């Protein structure tokens, strides 16, 4: 879901071959990976909570867990997410090692580009689980000005087995708009019909002492009622 986006360079190469705005130092926009990377020798810790408010029998679920990202060097970050899901089926858990490389950053023109990958490794119900990966590339354009927007576009593809009827690859888009110094509007979209096929919109709010809060709503590309609320609390140190 949110974090697609680890220690050294070897793991990054494994992810790529086998397989979130700058204002708040996050690695993704909302769900779509941004072109940013965490600063060198910096940790970013995030607590995620996602929920579809309905009974389990009617498709309700609760999805939660921590995400930790580390800036290995100026243009490379690595991370690990650990999530669990409560739904109609038994509780499931998953590890998501990930990495991102920002290979271009022209601050004068406001253009940046990055590639990355994430693996999805079930740690419960492994016999029925599906270990697979996803790779992606993004390009962004930041316009000049205190409250100017940034646009992101790119593409993604799953590596490994996908479920019947799932889209293997697609496009991704992102939009970030500071409203003032205290809040920003963020929105993004994954094309396709799969576990990432959602559009999302919400707000980011900086808090004191390197903390931040993000909240919003997600709408599935297919299926009536395929939506969920998401809340992220983050600390950079």
Answer whether residue 23 is part of any domain. Answer: yes
The two structure tokens encoding residue 100:
């991102």
Contact criterion met (CB below 8 Å) for 189 and 156: no
Asked whether residue 14 is domain-assigned, the answer is yes
For residue 14, what pLDDT is reported?
32
Domain, as residue range, for 138: 9-236
Residue 3 lies in a domain: no
Domain count of the fold of the chain: 1
pLDDT at 128: 61
Looking at the domain assignment, is residue 145 inside a domain? yes
Average pLDDT over every residue of 108-124: 95
Mean pLDDT along residues 188-202? 96
The residue count of the chain comes to: 237
For the record, the structure tokens of 136 come out as 């992606």
Residue with tokens 């940034």: 150
Q: What is the pTM of this model?
A: 0.87
Q: Is the pLDDT of residue 160 over 80?
A: yes
- Position 187 pLDDT exceeds 60: yes
What are the start-end ranges of the H helices in the chain?
9-18
pLDDT beyond 50 at 179 = yes
Domain of 88: which CATH number?
2.40.160.40
pLDDT at 225: 83
Domain-embedded: residue 1: no
Task: For 146, list phi and psi in degrees, rounded to 5.
Answer: -60, -40
Q: Specify if 2 maps to a domain.
A: no
Digit-coded pLDDT (tens) for 75-113: 999 999 999 999 888 888 999 999 999 999 999 999 999
Return the HEC string of 32-56: CECCCCCCCCCEEEEEEEEEECCCH
């Amino acid at each position: 879901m949110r974090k697609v986006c680890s220690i050294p360079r070897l793991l990054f190469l494994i992810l790529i071959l086998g397989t979130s705005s700058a204002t708040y130092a996050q690695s993704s926009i909302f769900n779509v990976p941004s072109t940013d990377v965490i600063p060198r020798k910096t940790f970013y810790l995030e607590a995620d909570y996602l929920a579809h408010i309905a009974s389990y029998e009617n498709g309700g679920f609760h999805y939660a867990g921590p995400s930790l990202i580390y800036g290995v060097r100026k243009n490379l970050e690595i991370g690990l997410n650990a999530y669990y899901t409560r739904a109609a089926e038994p509780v499931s858990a998953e590890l998501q090692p990930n990495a991102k490389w920002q290979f271009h950053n022209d601050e004068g023109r406001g253009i940046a580009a990055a590639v990355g990958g994430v693996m999805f490794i079930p740690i419960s119900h492994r016999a029925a689980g599906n270990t697979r990966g996803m790779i992606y590339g993004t390009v962004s354009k930041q316009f000049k000005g205190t409250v100017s927007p940034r646009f992101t576009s790119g593409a993604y593809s799953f590596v490994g087995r996908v479920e019947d009827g799932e889209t293997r690859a697609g496009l991704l888009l992102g939009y970030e708009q500071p409203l003032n110094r205290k809040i920003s509007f963020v929105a993004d979209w994954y094309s396709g019909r799969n576990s990432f096929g959602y559009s999302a919109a919400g707000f980011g709010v900086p808090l004191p002492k390197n903390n931040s809060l993000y909240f919003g709503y997600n709408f599935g590309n297919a299926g009536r009622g395929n939506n969920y609320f998401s809340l992220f609390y983050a600390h950079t140190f």
